Structure 1
Amino acid sequence: MIYQYASLGKYHLSNLKNRWIHFSNVNAFNDPFDSEIRVRHEGTEEQWRNYLKKIGENPKSINRKIWMLKAIAVANNRDQNKLYFPRKENIRYNAYVTCFSRRFDSILMWSHYAHNHTGFTRGFETKIEENLEYIDIEKGQLEYLKFGDVGRIVLFDVQYSSDPPPTANGLLEDKYVERFLKTKYIDWAYEQEVRAFCLNSWIKNEDIIHSTDCLKEIIFGLKTPIEDMKSMTLALKESGARDVKLYRCERLPDSFQIQKREIFDLDSETNNNGS
């Protein structure tokens, strides 16, 4: 099970009703070091020719670009055996991510991502096939370059490190984007984050519709108002999602920990200030 924390706001009911999982552009992340994709293009003439051919350039275009690269090398007194193109790619602007966690009981995440424990989390059941973990979605929304339209979003665990990944060489590496998107600074390790990512050319909409049976839990926070619990429960029924259990967070006595308690009768619940 993986969990996605959310605050009460403009879109929380529509997200539940429409079964949306939102993908955000990585430029919107609160950590400017997160997903900072650094790539250069440098190599021999042969490596450049192979790269340009791979991305679909025709022979005439390849010859013209090789001439340009050599001219840049001469103008900058650079080694012509290490042809370099001095530009930054806008991959960061094209990368979209949705974030989950392996844990539902993080006091910090309830405080940060669920607005002081007044929000909720959605608990999704994942599947594993051929060493790939994924969530089922409706087909026709997302097309991976390698897999095509498979009706799923593929997940990966974030890796935490004291140092960022080294700058990639775009001539020699194909999967460097994933390497940057799955690495975060070690201080974030408490989140136990799980991500799915895509490029904007892979998706038709930033809100992906998940299947009716992968959502298994809604967990309300310590301080989620009863009226909001009821409105979310109604939106959940309208979504068509099946067999979703409702829970509410509770404090464990004499500890900095929370647990979840299943709700069987929402009308018997009372508002809580978190105590």
Structure 2
Amino acid sequence: MFYKFMGGCDDSLVEIFEKAVMQGSVRFASVAHFNDPYEFKFTPVIPSRETFDRWHDVHDPQRPARERADAWTNCNGSAWDYNTGFTPRLELMRHMYLLCLTQRWDSHLMWGHYASQYRGFVVCYKPDLVSALPGMSGWIGHGKVTYDDQVPELRWFSAPVGEMMKPTLLTKSDQWAYEAEYRALLCDDADQAGILRSIDPGLIAGVILGPRVPEALIAKAIAYRATNSDFSVDQLSSRHDSYELTTRVVQDNVRVFGAFL
């Protein structure tokens, strides 16, 4: 199962639910607008001339000889660090868009950070979601995020572009490991705040409501469940003697007082 935390002010949460759950809207956020501006770093590794030429023979054989020679000078000359480090990272951040999911719903930190201090909700996606995404325009790939205390290497001209970039796109500082993140990647026109795509709402198994959600959102979720028998509506809870997070099924006409106590 994959999960997406949703937050917003009380007045907007019903609309967010309608778009994300009922309409199947998913948002790929701009890499340039991520909350951690130090993501997507890499250490460039320059190939040998033999490796460089072999890559072009396979992946870009139509490139004119003069352009190929200039490209080699750019990555091996005096400005190699600018051409293989600074400029590619800048372009990556302008053109790359990510759908950030997680494989856990029971994180206090994520409920606090991404679900408006427990007032939002979590969308629960079926595992088939990752099979449905690759048909989208601009598709690059998807995978689990690796957490490390070292910046990954970008080994230029070592593989097809998408594969070559994956370590950069799927590695974060180990201080973010609690997120257990799973990413889907798109490439599109530069400098957009985000990109909206649509999936089949049938790929959504249900929602987990935060303990502080407004009544209007509870009512909307219950009404939607009434028309979709396979759709689950749960609410976050926790035992009084433990910090462990649990869930309980939301009943049509029952509200639990002090669910967050």
TM class by smaller structure: 0.7 to 0.9
Alpha-carbon offset, residue 71 of structure 1: 9.6
Q: Which runs of no fewer than 5 residues in structure 2 stay unpaired? A: none
**1:112-132 CA distances to partner (integer Å, 9 max, x unpaired)?**
0001000000111104xxxxx
AA at the equivalent of 1:258: L
Q: Which residue matches 1:229? A: 218
2:244 to 253, 257, 265: 257
Q: Which residue matches 2:118? A: 117
Q: Which residue matches 1:17? A: 22
TM-score (norm 1): 0.74
Q: Which residue matches 1:81? A: none
Aligned CA distance change for structure 1 residues 53 and 94 (closer, same or farther; 3 Å): farther
Q: Percent identity?
A: 18
**1:89-148 CA distances to partner (integer Å, 9 max, x unpaired)?**
212322211112221111111000001000000111104xxxxx82535x9633647xxx
Q: Which runs of no fewer than 5 residues in structure 1 stay unpaired? A: 79-83, 128-132, 146-153
| Aligned positions of 1:45-124 closer than 5 A | 46-56=50-60, 58=62, 61-66=64-69, 69=72, 76=78, 84=80, 86-87=82-83, 88-89=87-88, 90-124=91-125
The whole-number CA distance in structure 2 between the counterparts of 1:224 and 1:160 is 32
Larger deviation, residues 5-14 vs 175-184: 5-14
Answer yes or no: is 1:186 the counterpart of 2:174: yes
AA at the equivalent of 2:212: K
TM-score (norm 2): 0.78
| Aligned positions of 1:143-158 closer than 5 A | 144=139, 155-158=142-145
Alpha-carbon offset, residue 210 of structure 1: 1.7
RMSD: 3.3
Residues 23 and 201, structure 2, Cα contact 8 Å, conserved in 1: no
Q: Which residue matches 2:40? A: 35
**1:6-64 CA distances to partner (integer Å, 9 max, x unpaired)?**
103456142333211111111211112222355465542x44444445554646x3225
Count the aligned residue pairs.
245
Alpha-carbon offset, residue 5 of structure 1: 0.5
Task: Describe the SS at the equivalent of 1:268.
Answer: coil
Q: Which residue matches 1:269? A: 255
Instruction: Give the greater-gyration-radius structure (CA).
Output: 1
Task: Describe the SS at the equivalent of 2:118.
Answer: coil
